């Protein structure tokens, strides 16, 4: 079973990063507001701006935690697929 790391762009211009084993179901939960305690609950509308598949939950969780530690500029470079900029920003830290 594959796992996914995903990034949502929220209405307040923030980003939410998470991981799941069922991307469609998890997105539906975010969009419907099924989990009132979730960061995205009061930040609608939401837009999926990035997702990546991993073979194990451990790899997806490690990626999620890594991305959550990144600057906004680095996240936006990754969302654009600008890996050269991601690399440059990684070196500037």
pLDDT at 54 over 90: yes
- In this predicted structure, the answer to whether residue 92 has a pLDDT above a threshold of 80 is no
The pLDDT assigned to 90 comes to 87
Helix pair 72-80, 83-91: axis angle to 10 deg: 160
pLDDT of residue 1: 87
- Residue 57 phi/psi, 5-degree rounding, is -60, -40
Sign of the four-CA dihedral 61, 71, 23, 55: negative
> For residue 25, what is the domain's CATH number?
3.40.1440.10
Structural domain count of the chain = 1
Task: State the average pLDDT for the chain.
Answer: 95
Q: Which domain holds residue 54?
A: 3-91
* pLDDT in the model for residue 93: 57
45 and 67 Cβ atoms separated by less than 8 Å: no
Instruction: Say how many C-beta atoms besides its own lie within 10 A of residue 51's C-beta.
Output: 14
Share of the chain above pLDDT 90, in %: 94
**Span 42-58, average pLDDT:** 97
């Amino acid at each position: 079973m594959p796992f996914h790391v995903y990034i949502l762009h929220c209405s307040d211009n923030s980003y939410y990063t998470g991981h799941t084993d069922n991307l469609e179901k998890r997105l539906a939960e975010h969009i419907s507001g099924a989990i009132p305690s979730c960061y995205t609950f009061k930040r609608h509308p939401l837009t999926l701006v990035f997702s990546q598949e991993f073979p194990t939950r451990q790899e997806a969780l490690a990626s999620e935690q890594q991305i959550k530690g990144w600057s906004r500029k680095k996240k936006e470079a990754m969302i654009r697929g600008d890996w050269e900029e991601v690399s440059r920003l990684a070196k500037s830290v």
